[in-house]
Each structure stands twice: as C-alpha cells, then as structure tokens.
Amino acid sequence: MKKRDVYYFLGPKTRRIFRRLYYLPIDIYEKITRKRDQMAPPKGKVFIGSGDFIKQGQDILGQLIDLGGLKPNHRVLDVGCGIGRLAIPLTKYLDEKGSYEGFDIVESGITWCKNNIQSKFPNFNFFHVDLRNDLYNLETKSESTNYAFPYKTGEFDFVFLTSVFTHMMPEDVSTYLTQINKVLKNDGICFSTFFIMNDKSSSLMKMSDGIQFDYDFTNYYLHNIKVKEANVAFKEDYLDHLIISKGFEIIEKHYGYWSGRKKDETVDFQDIYILRKKTE
C-alpha cells in the first residue's frame, strides 16, 4: 500500500493526531528558536497540502491577482479556508475597503484562524460549518448537498476555492456552484481548482508515477474507492456543462502538472478555472 493510501486509511481524527505527534519536535524547536513565521500555524496543526505553508499562500495569492484580477478593495469569500493559508497573505494585500470571509468544515482550523488572524484583523471573519466529508470530517451526518451559504445575495466581488472541489462529489460541487453564483455580484469572479480528466490528462496520468484516478464513474473518477472524497477528478465536458448551467462563463483554464504535464509549462499542480458570473 502506498503512503498516500495509508494516510487516507487512518481517518480524519487519527491523521491529525499523527501529524501533531510527527511534527511535535520541529514545532517545539521552532517555537523555542522563534524560527517559525509569526503568522504561520505550527506544522502539526496544518491539515492541507505539504511544503512551505507561507510560500504556498503567497504563490496562490499571486495567481488570484494575476489570473483572476483580485483587487485590494474586494470583498472576498474563501470557501474551504483551512487553517488560513490564503488568509495570511491577504492580511497584507486587502486594504481598508476590502474584507474577507472564510469557512471550513475542520473546526480546529477555524479556531486557530479566529485566535491568530481574526483577533488582529477586524475585516477578517472565519466561520465553522459542520459538514460531512470522507477526508476531513466524519463526525456529522450533515451533507454539503444541502448547505446554503450564510451570506447575502450578491455580497462578494471574488470567491475562491483551492483544493476544495478536488475533494467533493458531483452533487456537492453542483450545490456549491449554485451558492457561489448566488453570493457573487454580477460579473464577479470565481477562482477554483480541479483535477480535470480529458484525453491528454488521462494519457499522461497512465504514464506517470503521480496520483492515479483508477475508478471510473463516467463523469467523475476516484483515486481511492474506500475514501471517495480523498481525491476526485471530473470529466472535462461534464464539468464545463455543469459550470455553464449554473450561470457562469469560463474565462480561462490553466491545466496543472498533476497528470504529468511539464511543470515549466503549467501554473500549478491542480487545474485552474477562472469563472465569471453572467450578468442577470
């Protein structure tokens, strides 16, 4: 069994405990020596991605600005905000007219963000929503399919989701796209990442030693049949049709290197979609 599959097999709570214990010596050392960035959470508390937490956030912020057109005065919504990876660099980018809302299904991440970001920046607000997900939260029966975003219609200039739709089933993606369209202003932008399956990515994937989506459900594909939301890929034609049916136009696509594309010819690991809400 590969390390990735072992990790998924552990279950959400066990994975977070294991990570805390694994990184405990490093976190203690960095706390004593003050080598950790003052805004960064301890490594043991991070439950998304890997690598340099601060640099990743800064890099993604650059994508939001350069590809999505994010402005300092925008009111933004971070769907699946995790433990503040994007909120942290946004504290230095958004101006006094800008504001931030973020929500996530992992309560420990929201608690950390409230204590370490919201307490210092009054235009930043974090909200925990208790929804079931095979990868992150098994403690509730509440489903994303039935979730209504707790924000006003047309409230946001910019909505972003990084590595969120990659952990959601099709019916949940459909619900979230509906909700995002509702809370966006006309012509508002949604920056989102996916794993997109088309002829090229499928061919490259089979020749690579990276992530594999071996379980074919026609319109979507799973990496792990036992932890279905561990990683989900979507057939490109299906996803494009779904997005358009929800009132968006697809402005740009930037295919990632997850499938085996060359890194120097891509923007990031996952595939990026830039969407615009159609004017009503």
CB 68 within 8 A of CB 158: yes
CB 77 within 8 A of CB 183: yes
pLDDT in tens, 167-208: 999 999 999 999 999 999 999 999 999 999 999 999 999 999
pLDDT in tens, 125-165: 999 999 888 888 778 888 899 999 999 999 999 999 999 99
Cβ-Cβ contacts under 8 Å for 280 (sequence gap 6 or more): 186
Which three-class secondary structure state does DSSP give residue 186? strand
Cβ-Cβ contacts under 8 Å for 3 (sequence gap 6 or more): none
What's the confidence (pLDDT) of residue 78?
98
CATH architecture of 50-277: 3-Layer(aba) Sandwich (3.40)
What's the confidence (pLDDT) of residue 136?
81
Give the residue among 37, 47, 40 at the shortest CA–CA distance from 117: 40
Q: Distance between CA atoms of 136 and 47, rounded to whole angstroms?
A: 9
Domain ranges of the chain: 50-277
Q: Distance between CA atoms of 150 and 179, rounded to whole angstroms?
A: 10
Q: What is each CA distance from 210 to 47, 207, 215, in whole angstroms?
A: 20, 9, 15
What's the confidence (pLDDT) of residue 1?
45
> Confidence class of residue 35 from pLDDT cuts 50, 70 and 90?
confident
Q: Distance between CA atoms of 140 and 277, rounded to whole angstroms?
A: 32
What's the confidence (pLDDT) of residue 133?
84
pLDDT in tens, 228-264: 998 999 999 999 999 999 999 999 999 999 999 999 9
Q: Distance between CA atoms of 178 and 77, rounded to whole angstroms?
A: 15
Reading phi first (left if > 0) and then psi (alpha if -120 to 50, else beta), residue 278 is in beta
Give the residue among 217, 213, 188, 215 at the shortest CA–CA distance from 202: 213
What's the confidence (pLDDT) of residue 6?
63
| Percent over 90 (pLDDT), the chain | 74
